[in-house]
Amino acid sequence: MGEVATMLELEDVHVHYGAIWALKGINLTVGKGEIVSLIGANGAGKSTTLRAISGIVKASSGRISFQGEDLDKVPSHDIVKRGIAQVPEGRRVFANLSVLENLEMGAYIRNDTKEIKRDLEGVLVRFPRLKERIGQVSGTLSGGEQQMLAIGRALMTRPKLMLLDEPSMGLAPLLVKEIFSIIEEINKEGTTILLVEQNARMALQIANRAYVLETGRIVLDGPAQELAKQEDVKKAYLGG
């Protein structure tokens, strides 16, 4: 495989929440077309890294660039327009809106009505369960269905890069498998993925490369398959 063009780059990124130093100089890159996983214990800074990229939290120092353009001056709603979509932890669907309304909310930054309709049809083909429940209020969906809806809603923005925060959280093992194969499909169809995941085993299985975070620092990185074989990674994150 030739050199992959860098899509996203973080250079020495620091984030403070008040007195808490959450990220302590993060350096990472995501190449066009890759799946890159961030793994690490709770509180390691994985979600903060995604929030800094999508502009929800501002980096105190360092540089975040997407397709060669610095994001630090770009407001978070414009970051979505640039082609970065985040699927937040805990799914966060609009509980009192229907499945259809949630998906339409995903396309709020677009005005290409024909294409929106086509993308909506595409999402419903990918997620037949959402199609069956198109008029249902989203708060009544199961956890797995809400996760599919959150991914579907992000797809409606037509992202170049999708940030996924703990997509397997709270899901039954069978659903976890399903969600991960959906992530792989989305990637094969051309969307680059940055994945934050507690389930390190699954995350390393589908990723090209991975970074291991510990208390706001990257302590290891490399090809996902190689990291999965490392003793210290096995012990700390893969249960033995």
Write the CATH number for 216.
3.40.50.300
Mean pLDDT of the chain: 93
Whether 101 is covered by a domain: the verdict is: no
Query: Which long-range contacts link 87-91 to residues 24+ away (Cβ below 8 Å)?
Result: 87/150, 87/151, 87/153, 87/154, 87/162, 87/163, 87/164, 87/165, 87/167, 88/150, 88/165, 89/47, 89/165, 89/166, 89/169, 89/196, 90/166, 90/169, 91/143, 91/146, 91/147, 91/149, 91/150
Domain assignment present for 104:
no
Residue 68 makes CB contacts below 8 A (sequence gap 6+) with none
Res 196 pLDDT > 60: yes
* Residue 168 placed within a domain: yes
**213, 193 contact by CB (below 8 A):** no
Domains identified in the chain, total number: 1
39 lies in a domain? Answer: yes
**pLDDT tens profile 87-110:** 988 778 999 999 999 999 999 888
Residue 76: pLDDT above 60?
yes
The answer for residues whose C-beta is within 8 angstroms of residue 41's C-beta and 6 or more apart is: 214, 236
132 domain residue, yes or no: no
Distance CA 54, CA 8 (A): 11
Name which of 23, 5, 157 is nearest 68 in CA terms: 5
Q: Is residue 212 part of a domain?
A: yes
Residue range of the domain that includes 13: 6-92+158-237
Query: For residue 90, what pLDDT is reported?
Result: 78
- In angstroms, how far is CA 190 from the centroid of its own chain? 15
Average of pLDDT values for 71-80?
89
Q: Which amino acid, 225? A: Q
d(CA 233, CA 204): 11
- Residue 188 binned pLDDT confidence (cut-offs 50, 70, 90): very high
Q: Is residue 144 part of a domain?
A: no
Task: Note the pLDDT of residue 2.
Answer: 57
Pairing mode, strands 6-17 and 20-31: antiparallel
Local confidence band at 238 (pLDDT 50, 70, 90 cut-offs) = confident
Q: What is the pLDDT of residue 101?
A: 96
Greatest alpha-carbon pair distance for the chain in Å reads 52
Of the chain, the percentage scoring pLDDT greater than 70 comes to 98
Whole-model pTM: value is: 0.94
Whether 120 is in a domain gets the answer: no
- Mean pLDDT of all residues in 34-54: 94
Is the pLDDT confidence value at 129 over 80? yes
Segment 140-149 mean pLDDT? 93
Residues in a beta bridge with 28: 10
The mean per-residue pLDDT over the stretch 154-168 comes to 95
pLDDT band at 43 (very low <50, low <70, confident <90, very high): confident
